[in-house]
């Protein structure tokens, strides 16, 4: 693992409730705007969930969290992309409902955003 890699223990959070239809819409929107199917997350080595939420500055009332290693265990990998601490999960094709349900399943349930932006 190189110094630029995210550690398995690093938190990855997604703002919102991660409903299947919302993820499908977000992946399609990514394709329309950036040319690939992807989803946005936030995280970084050594940061707490509260630190990540404060840096990301998103207005959502809820977040869901996991560890980068949990994503890797199901064959998914996030990478740094965009404004720190933004992460992107790319898909080679439009993700299926099954793939998105697998993704949802590795995240904890919704919890309040510790630092919602106003």
Residue 2 has pLDDT above 50, yes or no: no
Q: Give per-residue pLDDT as tens, 66-90.
A: 999 999 999 999 999 999 999 999 9
Q: Give per-residue pLDDT as tens, 108-117.
A: 999 999 999 8
Other Cβ atoms less than 10 A from the Cβ of 59: the count is 9
Other Cβ atoms less than 10 A from the Cβ of 17: the count is 15
To the nearest 10°, the Cα dihedral for 54, 110, 92, 72?
Answer: 80
pTM comes to 0.92
């Amino acid at each position: 693992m190189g110094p630029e890699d995210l550690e398995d223990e690093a938190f990855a959070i997604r703002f919102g409730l991660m409903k299947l239809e919302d993820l499908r819409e977000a992946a399609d929107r990514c394709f329309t705007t950036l040319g690939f199917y992807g989803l946005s997350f936030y995280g970084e080595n050594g940061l707490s969930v509260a630190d990540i939420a404060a840096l990301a500055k998103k207005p959502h009332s809820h977040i869901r969290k996991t560890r980068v290693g949990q994503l890797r265990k199901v064959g998914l990998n996030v990478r740094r992309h965009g404004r720190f601490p933004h992460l992107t999960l790319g898909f080679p094709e439009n993700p299926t409902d099954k793939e998105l349900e697998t993704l949802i399943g590795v995240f904890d349930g919704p919890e309040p955003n510790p630092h919602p932006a106003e």
